């Protein structure tokens, strides 16, 4: 039994008890007057010697029947309102469960359409909440009108029936207000839970859309955005910036000889070495396949060359293992191409120059660092 249902039982019981007490008081008052021998201000024969007329007994019986009927009507209305509220709550719960099931069952991948999908859920949730609050405020305004009408009717009531009509109006209005408040409260609780789930889903979607699943480095999309931001800052502040393109040598041979799981292990280890070999303000990203990129802001070409050379030696000196500790990969090397940004140079032009130097390192025998020695006029 719901809380609102029990509350209505209490209200109905109090209403019925009030009617019964009213009847008892009326009958007691009538007995007092009879015992005093007074009727309409005139002394009468004592009640013991003058029994009540049959019409008086019928009046009492008729009053009891009317009061019992009214109590039955009040209780019937209560049952009807409680049943409607349970039905509404069940429908709301079913719809909410359906929304949760849809959200949970929706797979989150790394595409921008998935982020938009989650954001659409957030927008719909906000629209629903605004609708609930608006309807609740409208109901509150209607209640003020009802109370004002009830007050006016009560002030002008001259019969029991008119007072009863006012009571019916207030009971119905109170039940409606309670139902609306319960619905709003339940929807707010659901919205809080849905909001936390949507935020987690949105964060997951955004993360998957910008992070490489294998190496946990920023993916190419995030690399492009980050490089654009750094290039813009470089041109604005007239500071140096270098881009390093790195590629594992003969990586296909690793896959062919040791398997793709071993190749994945090599890629993850290489990503770790790159991340550990740069500053926290630098950016290491997976550009595609076995090719990686390093963004070195506020770094001139000489310093970037030292970073690339240090990473090259680290790769050579690392003890490479495959998918398990017993699988020895052997010697692994990498090639690097380094370019420093030029004045007013675009992102694509900078990437192309660094790429050209990487291909030059490959052509010259691999396991080496090649630099673009063009002086960047903006970096002084």
Q: What is the pLDDT of residue 41?
A: 46
Q: What is the pLDDT of residue 275?
A: 97
Q: What is the pLDDT of residue 370?
A: 98
The string of pLDDT tens digits covering residues 204-261 is 777 778 999 999 999 999 999 999 999 999 999 999 999 999 999 999 999 999 999 9
Q: What's the CA gap between 312 and 51, in Å, rounded? A: 121
Rounded average pLDDT over 346-375? 95
Per the structure block, which two tokens stand in for 236?
A: 């604005």
290 labelled catalytic: yes
Phi, psi of 334 (to 5 degrees): -145, 155
Q: What is the pLDDT of residue 159?
A: 73
CB 181 within 8 A of CB 139: no
> Strands of 334-340's sheet, edge to edge?
283-288, 291-297, 241-248, 334-340, 369-371
- DSSP SS3 for 41: coil
With 90 as the cut, is the pLDDT of residue 363 above it?
Answer: yes
- Containing 328, the helix (H) or strand (E) segment is strand 328-330
Residue-wise DSSP of 199-216: HHHHHHHHHHHHB-TTT-
Residue-wise DSSP of 109-136: -SSHHHHHHHHHHHHHHHHHHHHHHHHH
Cβ neighbours around 17 below 10 Å, total:
11
Q: What's the CA gap between 99 and 263, in Å, rounded? A: 42
- Residue from 190, 290, 345, 370 carrying the catalytic annotation: 290
CB 290 within 8 A of CB 247: yes
The string of pLDDT tens digits covering residues 77-109 is 555 555 555 555 555 455 444 444 443 333 434
The string of pLDDT tens digits covering residues 265-314 is 999 999 999 999 999 999 999 999 999 999 999 999 999 999 999 999 99
Q: Where are the alpha helices (DSSP H) in the chain?
A: 3-36, 54-105, 112-155, 160-210, 220-237, 251-258, 260-276, 301-317, 347-363
Q: What is the chain's mean pLDDT, rounded? A: 76
**Cα–Cα nearest to 161, from 73, 77, 57, 70:** 70
CB 330 within 8 A of CB 320: yes
**Higher-confidence residue: 172 or 231?**
231
Please report which confidence band the pLDDT of residue 57 belongs to, taking 50, 70 and 90 as the band edges: low
Q: What is the pLDDT of residue 53?
A: 46
**Higher-confidence residue: 68 or 235?**
235
Please report which confidence band the pLDDT of residue 74 belongs to, taking 50, 70 and 90 as the band edges: low
The string of pLDDT tens digits covering residues 10-46 is 555 656 565 666 566 556 555 544 555 544 444 454 4
Question: In Å, how far are 47, 56, 111 from 52, measured between CA atoms?
Answer: 8, 6, 91
Q: What is the pLDDT of residue 187?
A: 73
Please report which confidence band the pLDDT of residue 49 belongs to, taking 50, 70 and 90 as the band edges: very low
The radius of gyration computed from the CA coordinates of the chain, to the nearest angstrom, equals 42
């Amino acid at each position: 039994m719901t809380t609102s249902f029990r509350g209505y039982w209490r209200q109905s019981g109090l209403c019925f008890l009030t009617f019964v007490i009213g009847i008892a008081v009326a009958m007691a008052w009538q007995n007092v007057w009879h015992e005093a021998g007074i009727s309409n201000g005139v002394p009468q024969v004592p009640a013991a010697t003058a029994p009540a007329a049959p019409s008086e007994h019928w009046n009492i019986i008729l009053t009891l029947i009317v009061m019992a009927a009214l109590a039955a009507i009040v209780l019937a209305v209560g049952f009807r309102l409680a049943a409607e509220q349970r039905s509404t709550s069940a429908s709301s719960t079913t719809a909410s469960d359906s929304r949760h099931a849809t959200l949970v069952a929706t797979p989150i991948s790394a595409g921008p359409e998935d982020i938009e999908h989650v954001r659409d859920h957030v927008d719909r949730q906000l629209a629903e909440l605004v609708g609930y609050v608006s309807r609740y405020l409208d109901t509150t305004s209607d209640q003020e009108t009802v109370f004002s009408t009830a007050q006016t009717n009560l002030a002008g009531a001259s019969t029991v029936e008119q007072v009863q009509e006012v009571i019916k109006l207030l009971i119905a209005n109170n039940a409606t207000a309670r139902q609306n408040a319960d619905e709003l409260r339940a929807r707010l609780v659901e919205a809080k839970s849905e909001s936390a789930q949507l935020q987690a889903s949105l964060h997951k979607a955004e993360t998957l859309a910008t992070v490489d699943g294998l190496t946990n480095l920023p993916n190419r999309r995030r690399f492009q955005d980050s490089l654009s931001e750094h290039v813009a800052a470089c041109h604005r502040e007239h500071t140096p910036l270098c881009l390093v393109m790195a590629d594992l040598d003969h990586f296909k041979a690793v896959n062919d000889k040791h398997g793709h799981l071993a190749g994945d292990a090599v890629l993850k280890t290489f990503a770790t070495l790159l991340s550990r070999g740069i500053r926290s303000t630098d950016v290491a990203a997976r550009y595609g396949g076995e090719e990686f990129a390093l963004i070195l802001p506020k770094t001139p070409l000489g310093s970037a060359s030292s970073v690339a050379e240090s990473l090259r030696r680290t790769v050579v000196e690392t003890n490479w293992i495959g998918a398990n500790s017993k699988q020895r990969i052997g010697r692994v090397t990498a090639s690097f191409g380094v370019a420093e940004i030029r004045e007013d140079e675009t992102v694509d032009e900078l990437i192309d120059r660094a790429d050209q130097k990487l291909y030059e390192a490959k052509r010259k025998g691999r396991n080496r660092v090649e630099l673009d020695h063009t002086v960047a006029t903006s970096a002084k």
